[in-house]
Structure formats: C-alpha cells, structure tokens
A and B are shown apart, each in its own frame.
Chain A
Amino acid sequence: MGIDAHHPESGKPLWNHAFTTSPKICVAQPGIVDGSSILLSLGYGLGSILIDVEEKDGTWTAKERWNCRRLTLI
C-alpha cells in the first residue's frame, strides 16, 4: 500500500511513499495542503499523516512530516 506520484503529462512515476491502511478499508483520499504537502487519512483508528513533497534539479523527495493517530478524517 502507499501513495504514488506521476507526472500528469506523461504518467512517469516521480515518487512514492508507503503506508498501511486498515484491513479491507481503502479510502485514503489524498488532500493537498499549501500546494506542496499531502494529507492522508489512513482509516479507522489509524490517524493521519502529512507528507512534504519537494523537487530539486528534477529529483523528487517525499518525507513524512508528522503522523498523528488522533487526527482522523473518516
């Protein structure tokens, strides 16, 4: 499980970040925050994560800024 990013014109994979949702629950709708971060709610009781995305000289990095079990969107 995880999140993948692609270039929208070519579909080329840019980066990915692994995470685990609840068994049989898969509604981790990514939401964009401030244009450069992605908020993901992982499922019942698992909380949420915020991923910071950066691009430098064509290289993409995705780092988890925080992981909070108490913040849930679903």
Chain B
Amino acid sequence: MFRLQGFSGGFGPALVFGWQKPIEAERPVANSGVSPPLSEAYQSTETDWPEFRGPNHDGVVRGIEYSETWLDLELRWRIPIGEGWSSFCVVGPMAFTQWQEYESQVTVCLRAASGVEVWCNEDKVRFDEAMGGRRATRSPPVALRNFRPLLAQSRS
C-alpha cells in the first residue's frame, strides 16, 4: 500500500501511497531537438560563475551591486526541469546545469537571459538511492582559461 520514496533530512522515511505516480513522471523530457545557434561571442565577464562555489572556490560574488530592497526583483523566466541537486554555472550568455530524467542524466546549456535550451547531452545512467534520492548532483564546471572553452561534467 505504501512505497518508500526516500529519507527526509531528519532521516525519517518518506512514504507515499503505492498508487501515487512518481513526481518525475510528470516532468517533460528535455527538448534535445532544439538548438538555436549562438550568435554572441563567447565572452567571459567578471561576474561569471564558472564552477561550483565560483571562480575562486570561495563562494563570493564579485563585481556586482546589491539592491537594498527585494521589491524590484522581477521573474524573468521559469521552466520545468528534471530532478537534481546541481546548481548552475554561468559564463557569458549561457547557463549550465545537470538533472535527471527517467533513465537518463542530462547536462543542459540554457540561455541565461531567456531560459531557452541551446543544447543538452543525455547519458543513459540513473542515480536512485534511498538516502540520497533520485538526482544528478554536480554543477558542471566551465573552464575558459588557457585554451578554448571546455565544459566538463561527471556522471554516475
């Protein structure tokens, strides 16, 4: 009658009714067929966030001014995505992250300004574990130094 969905942060079991659909079944599959070409030059800026915890691995954002009020924040875009604990890396016009959909882990490049998908790469691997849950965990790092752009991701 019940199904173990995983464990909560307090290590309590999270049970759902057996007839309830898994949440992921309601999420759309990433659209791998659409990849509009990028016309912008691939320029890195001071406010890029090229890897986990930022360019200096210290979690500090430099080169921005903070608003003193939250009231002027405006939602620019919202899109459905798969499951994951990954954060985003942002370089120039592009944002990268990784999530899990059904039997695949997907690395995705989105336009940061619009949320439109530029490309995605699907690996037929799946992480599903009671304590950690269903997820793809990493923030894909982006390296722009020394030579041409490089995006690296680890997979299960």
Check if A and B associate. Answer: yes
For window 6-55 of A, CB contacts with B under 8 Å fall at: 6-11, 13-14, 21, 24-32, 34-36, 38, 40, 53, 55
From A7, A11, A14, A29, contact of B35 by CB (8 A): A11
CB-CB nearest 10 A-B residue pairs: A35-B145, A11-B119, A35-B146, A8-B151, A28-B154, A5-B152, A8-B149, A3-B154, A24-B129, A26-B156
With A and B bound together, what is the CA distance between A9 and B107 in angstroms? 13
CA–CA, A62 and B129, complex, Å? 30
Mostly, the A contact residues are loop
Check A8–B142 contact: CB distance below 8 A.
Answer: yes
CB closest chain-A residue, reference B135: A26
Find A36's partner among B35, B50, B94, B147 (CB 8 Å cutoff): B147
Partner-A contacts on B (CB < 8 A): 35, 38, 42, 50-52, 57, 91, 94, 96, 107, 109, 118-121, 123, 127, 129, 131-132, 137-156
CB contact between A30 and one of B96, B129, B152 (< 8 Å): that residue:
B152
Q: Are B153 and A4 in contact (CB under 8 A)?
A: yes
A2 touches B149 (CB 8 A): no
List, sorted by A's number, 25 A–B pairs whose CB atoms are closer than 8 Å: A1-B155, A3-B153, A4-B121, A4-B123, A4-B152, A4-B155, A5-B153, A6-B151, A6-B153, A8-B42, A8-B142, A8-B150, A9-B118, A9-B149, A10-B35, A10-B119, A11-B120, A11-B121, A26-B132, A26-B137, A29-B139, A30-B138, A31-B57, A35-B143, A38-B141
Which residues of B are found within 8 Å of A21, using beta-carbon distances?
A: 156
Write the chain A residue with the least CB distance to B107. Answer: A6
A66 to chain B, nearest CB (A): 18
B106 CB to closest chain A CB, in angstroms? 11
Task: Tell whether, in the assembled complex, residue A29 and residue B152 are in contact, meaning their CB atoms are under 8 Å apart.
Answer: no
Residues in B neighbouring A10, C-beta threshold 8 A? 35, 119
- The CA of A9 and the CA of B123, in the complex, are separated in Å by 18
Q: By the criterion CB–CB under 8 Å, are B52 and A29 in contact?
A: yes
Q: Is B153's CB under 8 angstroms from A31's CB?
A: no
Q: How far is the CA of A27 from the CA of B38 in the complex (A)?
A: 31
Give the residues in chain A near B50, CB-CB below 8 Å.
32
Complex Cα spacing A45 to B32, Å: 37
